[in-house]
Amino acid sequence: MRTSLLALTAIAAVTAGVIGTTERESWRPNEIDPLATRALPEPETDVVARKGERMTAADILPAQFVEVSQAAPAAPNAPPQTPAPVASKPARPVVDESALRYFAARGDTVRLQAEISRLRALYPGWEPPADPLAIAAGSDPQLDAMWKLYSEGRYDDVTKAIAERKKTEPDWSPPDELVESLRLATTRRQLVQASDAHQNDRVVELAAEAPQLLTCSEVDILWRVGEAFARTDRQDRARDAYGYILQNCHNPQERLATIQKASLVLDIPHLDALMRLEQTGTDGKPEFDAIRTGIARTLVSRGGTDPKAVVPQDYLTRLSDEARRTENAEDSLLLGWYFYRRNQFEPAQDWFRRSFEKEATPTAAQGLALTQVALRDPQAAENTLYRFRDATDETRATYLAAVANLLALDPPKIIDNAILARMATPVVEARNTAAAEQFGWYARSLRQMQTAADWFGLILTWDAAYEPAAYGLALSLDALGDRAGVARIQAIWAQRSERIAHLRDPRRASTLTPVPGTAPAYAERATPHISPGGFVLAEAAPAPVRTAAGNPPAEKRVRPRGCSAGIDLSRIAPIEAVKRGWCLMDLKRPLEAAEAFDRALSAPIAATRQEAAYGKSLAYLRLNLTDKAAVAAVQEQQTPVRAKQLQVAILADRAVGAFRLGRFHETIIALDQRSRLTREPQDLMMLRASAYRQLGYDSEARRILQPLADIGNSDAIKALYDKPT
């Protein structure tokens, strides 16, 4: 006789808030032995292969939590034991059925069925009475009152009532059924609380203390145990927890929910093993057909944040077909991020464009712009993202990167003055040195030296230690014939920049000293003028003076040293590109550094590629391009220390970005992932508390804020007294 799902117990109904009507069939203890042990299958093993077997609590819990009773060895020379006669019919066990009568009298069929299931598990030979109401009414009103408190979920009151009665009646003892029910109820409540607080190891410990909870009548508990295993990197155990439900339980809605929950936390091989436990529905169709597209959506979404997650082609095809059929902007967006994370920029651009054309959101615009930059079309990226540039911190950073890339094109691209003007405003507002520097070099390429000097001077008012801007200013002033201005720059930078010191005549550098109390000329310059007419287009630029031979006159220049001058990266060796990348990082030129590191990724030596991927990721982090930093971090395998360092930084940036976008669930997920790697600092703890409050979990927020307030964190103290919004 096949076993089937038992009703959810009364305690699960109270603590988890989930009560479902289930089929009623017998439960055979010899088929589900809580103390049985069995070797767990490997991840690729098909769980269905164990045909005819039933999973037990021991299949779910780690071995160290399962106690296996050992029979005592026989004494030496002991006479053989005579087998006990087999009774023709087992005697009916003595069972306290008062709870059955109480639930039946109240008409509570769900709790009545759960109590029957519990008693069958405790007493294998016991069968429930045909009419629970026919059970003789108890002559113990105090005990009936305790059962009433128990049925209402008031477990602390039950414990208190037992203690008070034992004081007045020292010889009285509560029925074993009540004691055991109370123990399980308390354990269940503690397990749910630990699960809600993400205390995953505690969840497993509590489940080990009460394997009776790991049954079909406690599907919510099995889900929580499965998630706890998955969150602690025990994928085999998590698969077995979910697999227990699919092998032993038959409620269609719970089976569907099990697969959906498993898809959120299991890797692909373990999820595939569960999918093979699929049964045929009453309509003759596979039972999981209705949620296969949803699972594909979940897996592709996960692949959009984890470049190492390989989604099987059939899931990609299913979601791609669904996105084309329904023209769903969100599905197209998921596919765009999936391909973008794998540097497959052309299909990523196609999906981002589909999403953007259907629903022009900041996220779709950002994804499309990133692919356009990656495909060397920064002008299209600027145009795509301009109206969304201030939507989020990420779109702003991506827009500024597009501006810098557009201005840095070689040879320079002719850009309309109106476009230049609209790009300049957000650059100045953000005080973005990378894009502002490119404005300066772009102006020089158009021979607009005064405009270039204005840009470089403006950068130095933001960051007086930014050497590339000082160098660009010196070059521009020199081209304008401002010898005094060049001298002032050289005097300030002579000890810090060799290329500035030797800009014209190195013999003069030692004789130049700054005038005491006088600010450099560039500090007084106004914001660059970039309204129409501020730039002269290349066609209108004055023609260079030529010699009789028709060639421009040769300039006497000192050969550039270090990484200051621009070079063709394709002509240098990968190891030199790495050195140049770190040099540019020291000069606070992360955009150029990322390009140099990218060149070094073609190195034949693994160590060089590893260094390049590390540097490229740091460069993108400095540019606030978190997504690109995450991609760069996995282009080559890093040492454990570096991998952890990058992941911690990326997850912190991702949590902050998600919070600013109002994606509070994603904020918690990112912080959870980061907390597994390193201790959470106080500012991120405050961020977590704020996210919980935004989600309506005020008790969780207070649990975080109170310890911070106790150690004097003023923000936490203030937050504790603020009313949740």
The answer to whether residues 704 and 579 belong to one domain is no
Cα angle 652-654-657, degrees, rounded to a multiple of 5:
110
The least confident of 241-255, 500-514, 662-676 is 500-514
CA distance 398 to 380: 13
Local structure of 599: helix, strand or coil: helix
Structure tokens of 296?
């594909």
CA distance to 98, 299, 322, 352, 435, per residue, from 356 (Å): 65, 22, 17, 6, 26
43 confidence band (pLDDT: 50, 70, 90): very low
Question: Does residue 16 register a pLDDT over 60?
Answer: no
Distance between the two ends of the chain, CA-based, in angstroms?
A: 55
The answer to whether residues 442 and 574 belong to one domain is no
58 confidence band (pLDDT: 50, 70, 90): low
Give per-residue pLDDT as tens, 269-300. Answer: 888 888 889 888 777 788 788 788 888 888 89
Q: Which residues pair with 286 in a beta bridge?
A: 280
Give per-residue pLDDT as tens, 459-487. Answer: 999 999 999 999 999 999 999 989 899 99
The answer to whether 580 touches 566, Cβ cutoff 8 Å, is no
CA distance 245 to 490: 76
pLDDT at 576: 84
Instruction: Please state, rounded to an integer, the average pLDDT across all residues of the chain.
Output: 76
Listed residues 282, 305, 335: the one ending a domain: 282
The answer to whether residues 276 and 219 belong to one domain is yes
The answer to whether residues 419 and 468 belong to one domain is yes
Which residue type is seen at 118? R
Which residues, 6+ apart, have CB-to-CB distance to 375 below 8 Å? Answer: 345, 346, 349
On whether residue 706 sits in a domain, the answer given is yes
Give per-residue pLDDT as tens, 587-640. Answer: 778 888 888 888 888 887 777 888 888 888 888 887 777 778 877 777 787 777
CA distance 340 to 321: 19
pLDDT at 653: 82
138 confidence band (pLDDT: 50, 70, 90): low
The answer to whether residues 592 and 709 belong to one domain is no
Range of the domain at 700: 639-725
**CA-based nearest residue to 564, from 447, 430, 441, 432:** 441
Give per-residue pLDDT as tens, 658-683. Answer: 888 888 888 888 898 888 888 888 88
CA distance 445 to 224: 63
Widest distance between CA atoms in the chain = 125
Local structure of 286: helix, strand or coil: strand
Residue with the larger pLDDT of the pair 248 and 121: 248
pLDDT at 112: 78
CA distance 673 to 655: 10
Give the chain's domain count. 4
On whether residue 75 sits in a domain, the answer given is no
On whether residue 302 sits in a domain, the answer given is no
The answer to whether residues 45 and 125 belong to one domain is yes
Helix (H) or strand (E) holding 671: helix 664-675
On whether residue 153 sits in a domain, the answer given is yes
**DSSP at 480:** T
Give per-residue pLDDT as tens, 650-660. Answer: 888 888 888 88
The answer to whether residues 516 and 587 belong to one domain is no
Local structure of 280: helix, strand or coil: strand
pLDDT at 190: 92
